[in-house]
Structure 1
């Protein structure tokens, strides 16, 4: 979701599989058609014969108007005002990130062990073609009790005022049968504040649920 000049929101959807009919669309509001879908220009990497569909495409929003998305080899920017694509650089965003204005940084969860809460700095539409952003390690919100806890997915939810809820879904192997497992969902509240050096993460309450949550919206 991205804010528009009329204070409404627009929803942008990009399918990274180029064979689809409508791979890039926006759901936006206008006085005539009200809420309606509109096709957008396809990304330039679809024309690359060596393009491979990534296993999860890291993305973020920069300067409030540009959507940045990474393939397996490079990062591209879509200017929502000019409705144009451009190449940012031959590097890849390390994770999905959300800009937190109070910190002036982009926060997200690492896709690699130890799956820390991390931050990015140095992202700007004026820095297109420059080097990759600097990655800062913020901390680990929850440490699994043992190696039998396999992380399936995790999501960072911004609840405002530098406070976040981190949702982690684990497959936990039972003690009696290594081929049997249970699904455990962990909700952890954290607060992030500036510190010297870097950022400081304060852990709040953690809740465990046993069950099957497949998606976090």
Structure 2
């Protein structure tokens, strides 16, 4: 993994939801987060957020204000899809916003997935609650080309036996999704798992099973495994080439969350884990507290944890948790996740 180690990012983009504004994106330094030094005897403190956000995406006054955000591997582009059918591209190096094409159909609680490798400029846009009785498109593709130009491409519906008895938000729900090469995989409760080839623009039914992971998972080519969170209690590694996928290892979330001995969040639980792969078997996991900290302003905590997954000489998976850092959010900020 030496080549991957050299390509690791030294910073991470984090999207934070502010209920008065919308989504703010901050850049956090990861310097020293993967240090091998023991932290048990080091003094810990709650750090302030970076002084100003990299970008601000304001919520529409007449919509729920839910957005899906993805960042390019180098962090120089941020692509956003909103529940008001807008798309936006932000160039972090130029500090410029560009409006993309309107979405081809409404996407309540949108999901945006970027491809891997040579398809990393291709994105797949969908809604968490597809309603196949509707005539409008439930899925579409976005392609970033020519700098900040975003192109929208139609996507045919998956080969599902459509049931018009599905009710919005009740009959069908995308429970987990990830990108593997040029394919985007998604599991839908009650429908099974499908993948879409973004190059050939074809669907494939992977099986009637549903991935036992929640929300966004990450496929790691170096390990040949899919990693993500199950029931928000376990961090799991799956062999996705098997059908249904076979679990290779799982770790309790407490092995990744900020340690109690750090005394950063006594009496508070960290939930809503976000996951970003940095290369070389290294991950950045983000957390938000379930309730405000015990202070006069009622502010929540946000945390980043460095985690490394590797194989032993005998091929066994092993997880090494490095350092955690906790940050104090403003009173209007409720949750954050790493992009």
Is the shorter-chain TM-score for this pair beyond 0.5, marking a shared fold? yes
1:207 is displaced (CA, Å) by: 0.6
Query: Does structure 1 residue 47 correspond to structure 2 residue 162?
Result: yes
Q: Where in structure 2 are the equivalents of 1:73-112 lying within 5 Å?
A: 73=190, 74-95=192-213, 96-112=216-232
Q: Where in structure 2 are the equivalents of 1:162-201 lying within 5 Å?
A: 162-172=281-291, 182-195=299-312, 196=314, 198-201=316-319
Q: Which residue of the partner structure matches residue 158 of structure 1?
A: 277
1:166 is displaced (CA, Å) by: 0.5
- RMSD of aligned C-alpha atoms? 3.2
Task: Spell out, residue by residue over 1:107-159, the C-alpha distance to the aligned partner (whole angstroms, 9 max, x if none).
Answer: 2122342xx321111x23xx6xx333335214521266499534441101111
Shifted more, 192-201 versus 16-25: the winner is 16-25
1:65 is displaced (CA, Å) by: 2.4
What SS does the corresponding residue of 2:335 show, helix, strand or coil? coil
Query: Does structure 1 residue 60 correspond to structure 2 residue 173?
Result: no
Task: Spell out, residue by residue over 1:64-117, the C-alpha distance to the aligned partner (whole angstroms, 9 max, x if none).
Answer: 12221111131112122332223211211122321212212112122342xx32
Q: Which residue of the partner structure matches residue 149 of structure 1?
A: 268
1:8 is displaced (CA, Å) by: 6.1
Structure 2 Cα separation of the partners of residues 90 and 53 of structure 1: 14
Q: Which residue of the partner structure matches residue 2 of structure 1?
A: 115
Query: Which has the bigger relative contact order, CA under 8 A and spacing at least 6?
Result: 2
Structure 2 Cα separation of the partners of residues 65 and 133 of structure 1: 22
Structure 1 stretches of 5 or more lacking a match? Answer: none
What SS does the corresponding residue of 2:300 show, helix, strand or coil? strand
Structure 2 stretches of 5 or more lacking a match? Answer: 1-113
Q: Which residue of the partner structure matches residue 326 of structure 2?
A: 208
Q: Which residue of the partner structure matches residue 11 of structure 1?
A: 123
> How many residue pairs get matched?
203
Structure 2 Cα separation of the partners of residues 173 and 214 of structure 1: 11
1:189 and 1:204 in contact (8 A); partners too: yes
Distance 1:143 1:40, change over 3 A: same
Distance 1:147 1:91, change over 3 A: farther
